[in-house]
Homo-oligomer: A and B are copies of this chain.
Amino acid sequence: MTADNAASYGFFDDENREYVVTEPRTPYPWINYLGSENFFSLISNTAGGYSFYRDAKFRRLTRYRYNNVPMDDGGRYFYIRDGETIWNPGWKPTRTELDDYSCRHGMGYTRVAGAKNGLHCDVLFFVPPGDNVEIQKLTLRNDSQEEKQVQLFSLLEWCLWNAEDDTTNFQRNYSTGEVEVENSTIYHKTEYRERRNHYAFYHCNAELAGFDTSRDSFLGPYNGFDQPEAVTSGKPGNSIAHGWSPIASHAVDITLAPGESRELVFLLGYLEVAEEHKWESPGVINKAPAHELIARYGTVEQADASFAELGTYWENLLGGFQLQSHDPRLDRMVNIWNQYQCMVTFNMSRSASFFEAGIGRGMGFRDSNQDLLGFFHLQPERARERILDIAATQFEDGSVYHQYQPLTKRGNAAIGGNFNDDPLWLICSTTAYLRETGDFSILEQQVPFGNDENNCASMLEHLRRSFDHVTNNLGPHKLPLIGRADWNDCLNLNCFSTDPNESFQTTENKAGAIAESLMIAGAFVLYGTEYTDLCRHLGDDAEADRAGAAVRAMEQAVIEHGWDGEWFLRAYDAAGNKVGSNENEESKIFIESQGFCAMAGIGLEQGLVEKSLDSVQEHLDTPYGIVLNYPAFTRYHLEYGEISTYPPGYKENGGIFCHNNPWVMIGETVLGRGDQAYDYYCKQAPAFQDHVNLRKIEPYAYAQMVAGKEAPLPGEAKNSWLTGTAAWNYHTITEHILGIKPRFEGLLLDPCIPTAWQGYTVQRQFRGKQASIRVHNPDGVSKGVKRITLNGKEVAGQIVDLSACGDSCEIEVWMGGAG
């Protein structure tokens, strides 16, 4: 056990936008994502993980075993057989001690390098934009004084495409595996004979000494990945898999003079072939498309050129927002890792991480809308497509499919809908898109209801249905009915379940016309106001008036029925009893309604927001972030559902459920309390954490959950990468703390920062223009802007209209005085 600070395991290399892992035995696998379009790979710091095409459930390319023993065993491995020593550049799976080791996780690539007995091996893994292939460029160098004759073996294990079936239906799938081998390329064609018009291949650009495609042949039936028989014996089996478990392994003999290097390119490709062109001859797959793909990337020069392009791709993406502050940790988060994680959550939703097995949920309606909050500035055209895909899963009454599959883009009927916060997130994402892009044409786009192309309405109409879904589903206190659940999937007020085989999310056994959510109420005021503003902006005053009245009525209902005295209630349960009240024995206060009512400014003038957030600080704040509720439930509450099933301090039951912490940060900026907002921000931002053995997960990624103060190990993080935490923190730091806020009319500049900050600069791309923004804080205030100039000329108000500028412009902001 190393000392509990981050440097024990690695460091940030900000210049290269990398995290460098220097110790393979990280507390948990520290992973990266390759690919950002259709072909994706997960890769750990020891090269574990897997690849898939678009959908981690239905189109899994390589096999991976979750919760495995040994941990994270299985990936794309290279074995080097140097005399009696067999080792891997990434340490695993042989775990042969290395003389040197590093893993550099960068933007869309990972470079794993190891050295042993005078040999140095470096493998660069990446997926080039625009193609469905993982490129693995391996460099083997002889640093010794003697000639080295070594054998190199590659290894990956094919998944039989459907990842769920692959791990369950053995009575079928042990009989279906099929491969072909042509020169140095191994083709995986299981089920290609039938309904699959796609295959995968694993190619090596060298002549082979041999190969294996049968796992039993390569490993020997009783060996682990650490002792493959083909490698320990030095004899590839040239095996052809029929059924059982097909793999792909190349064997290459390499001789290196002292100082000599050898570069090899391995390609893991995926191809779809039109039905009429599937076969070269009966039973033999058409390899022409694979040959073409190999011809594009198969040489060292091509691989190098493609890698350079990837660098440019990311340089351009991240250039959309670049901060220069006094603190490199903050710059690191804003400029690199938080933006990067936003790309990952955009692509993955909650489907595939080392905590999400990739076979469950597809894309969440709620999740994907929120993930966009951190994505609009990166690739607005893809954000637009995503919004339309999501909206197409909405029904005519405004309700929505809770999830949809990325491969088909169709709603997931097995889960259904009735999560009553869902529709509002469509307003959240669409108005944010409009503010970022000014592209109002999206509102006129015809979008299906329930994925039915024959039943469409305009996007604007979809927003109206979202708005009305709330007002059409009000409860006894004129607050929104919660349905199955609101944002907190585990607060199941209409599911009274005693059967452990029931899902809390899909079982509803109460009528659902009583239980109300203050979180939805807050969200309605916040996003309902955005809808109102949009209608006003579009000139539809009648609709704006109608909507505005509903919003004001909701504010009133919250103040009348949703205030507990020191904080906002969380909900009313199915019996009409208060949830999250000082009257309750357990869980007297929840974070969600404080966050949303504060963001919406409900009761701001009466001091309710201030009181609410003071209560958060008093009851929910901890050294590792803000817990969701307190005190945690110590027993199962039939009337509350899953939330009370977790041991105290974990997940939704007293855990720090990080996603919601930014709501409080934003709430603090509503109050102008920049020090407090930034204090909360720093407690969560990965680059600020130094207790790595406790935290366990990647030092460069946000977690969904950190164990709360009532857990056995407060501060232990879980479920890294796929969480709304990424988008919300990005949104919070850039818009609400640094204060660069897109508006329909331009950029609103309204920072809310720690009083100690003297200023910072931001390079911001906005609607095709490059804005250079310099913020000065000469008076040491948290909030308030006294002067703004655009290209040296004073601007009236706080919104800067860039439309008259050229390609770039200079904005200066002086804080201080009254805002």
User: Which residues of B are found within 8 Å of A283, using beta-carbon distances?
Assistant: 634
A551 to chain B, nearest CB (A): 34
* Contact between chains at A650 and B175 (CB < 8 Å): yes
User: Which residues of B are found within 8 Å of A224, using beta-carbon distances?
Assistant: 69-70, 73, 224, 226
* Contact between chains at B647 and A175 (CB < 8 Å): yes
* Contact between chains at A170 and B243 (CB < 8 Å): no
CB closest residue in chain B, given A58: B501
* Contact between chains at B357 and A178 (CB < 8 Å): no
Binds B, one of A161-169, A574-582, A755-763: A161-169
Q: Does A66 contact B (CB under 8 A)?
A: yes
Binds B, one of A187-195, A666-674, A733-741, A764-772: A187-195
- Interface range on chain A: under 10, 10 to 19, 20 to 34, or 35 or more? 35 or more
User: Which residues of B are found within 8 Å of A454, using beta-carbon distances?
Assistant: none
Residue with the greatest number of chain B CB neighbours at <10 A, chosen from A157, A223, A242, A497: A242
* Contact between chains at B497 and A195 (CB < 8 Å): yes
Main secondary structure of the interface of A (DSSP, over half): loop
User: Which residues of B are found within 8 Å of A194, using beta-carbon distances?
Assistant: 500, 636, 644-645
User: Which residues of B are found within 8 Å of A58, using beta-carbon distances?
Assistant: 500-501
* Contact between chains at A645 and B176 (CB < 8 Å): yes
Cα–Cα distance between A168 and B355 once the two chains are bound (Å): 9
* Contact between chains at B634 and A174 (CB < 8 Å): no
Binds B, one of A214-222, A469-477, A510-518, A778-786: A214-222
From 483 to 519 in chain A, residues with beta carbon under 8 angstroms from any chain B beta carbon are 497-502
Cα–Cα distance between A92 and B651 once the two chains are bound (Å): 37
Copies in the complex: 2
Q: Does A172 contact B (CB under 8 A)?
A: yes
User: Which residues of B are found within 8 Å of A791, using beta-carbon distances?
Assistant: none
> Contact check: which of B215, B645, B651, B704 meets A69 at CB < 8 Å?
B215
From 625 to 665 in chain A, residues with beta carbon under 8 angstroms from any chain B beta carbon are 634-636, 644-647, 650-651, 655
Q: Does A712 contact B (CB under 8 A)?
A: yes
> Contact check: which of B161, B167, B645, B647 meets A243 at CB < 8 Å?
B647
Cα–Cα distance between A53 and B699 once the two chains are bound (Å): 42
Q: Does A277 contact B (CB under 8 A)?
A: no
Q: Does A68 contact B (CB under 8 A)?
A: yes
A618 to chain B, nearest CB (A): 26
From 53 to 102 in chain A, residues with beta carbon under 8 angstroms from any chain B beta carbon are 58, 65-71, 73-74, 92, 95
User: Which residues of B are found within 8 Å of A71, using beta-carbon distances?
Assistant: 221-222
Cα–Cα distance between A225 and B215 once the two chains are bound (Å): 20
Q: Does A731 contact B (CB under 8 A)?
A: no
Cα–Cα distance between A655 and B170 once the two chains are bound (Å): 16
Cα–Cα distance between A502 and B350 once the two chains are bound (Å): 23
User: Which residues of B are found within 8 Å of A178, using beta-carbon distances?
Assistant: 647
* Contact between chains at B497 and A174 (CB < 8 Å): no
Q: Which 9 A-B pairs have the closest CB atoms?
A: A175-B650, A194-B636, A194-B645, A195-B500, A242-B712, A70-B224, A168-B357, A171-B719, A171-B355
22 contacts between A and B (CB under 8 A): A25-B221, A25-B222, A28-B221, A58-B501, A65-B69, A69-B73, A69-B157, A69-B215, A161-B500, A168-B357, A170-B719, A172-B651, A174-B718, A176-B647, A193-B636, A194-B500, A195-B498, A195-B645, A242-B711, A242-B712, A243-B718, A282-B634
If A170-B356, A242-B647 are given as contacts, then 5 extra A-B residue pairs at C-beta distance below 8 Å, sorted by A number, are: A69-B224, A175-B655, A194-B500, A224-B224, A242-B711
